[in-house]
Amino acid sequence: MRNVGNFYLETGGQFLVGCLDGETIATGGVKPLDEQTVELQRLRVLPEYQQNGYGTELLDRLETFAEKQSFERIRLHTDDVLVVAQRIYERRGYERTHREPHPTIDGEVIFYEKEI
């Protein structure tokens, strides 16, 4: 998280950190890819805090930010083993665009896109 300012904020994006009792429990950001598109990145919730709505809250806020900044679409990618994440994105209206072999581990990367 040392380069959040350079990587997200100074490029016109946003990065959120969710804290509970002084502990970072969730993160997520959007970074512009071009004038119409942002990429959702680093959406994470510590396992012991999952299924409590923290990820949904961050995703809501990041989508709202992108929409208010007049972006037209959000792209993201996730690993094929993260089935729960895939279900969340698909329920939120993200559509699979393609799959690619994972560059460093056995498996695939699944790419999604959503018009906003």
Rounded to whole angstroms, the Cα distance separating 113 from 28 reads 16
| Confidence (pLDDT) at 83 | 93
Q: For 31-79, what is each residue's pLDDT tens digit?
A: 999 999 999 999 999 999 999 999 999 999 999 999 999 999 999 999 9
Band of residue 2 on the pLDDT scale cut at 50, 70, 90: low
Rounded to whole angstroms, the Cα distance separating 61 from 111 reads 21
| Confidence (pLDDT) at 1 | 59
| Confidence (pLDDT) at 96 | 98
Q: Nearest CA to 89 among 79, 76, 73?
A: 76
Residues above pLDDT 70, as percent of the chain? 98
Rounded to whole angstroms, the Cα distance separating 72 from 114 reads 9
Band of residue 5 on the pLDDT scale cut at 50, 70, 90: confident
Check if the beta carbon of residue 77 is closer than 8 Å to that of residue 112: yes
Rounded to whole angstroms, the Cα distance separating 75 from 26 reads 20
Band of residue 25 on the pLDDT scale cut at 50, 70, 90: very high
| Confidence (pLDDT) at 4 | 80
| Confidence (pLDDT) at 6 | 80
Does position 9 have pLDDT exceeding 90, yes or no?
no
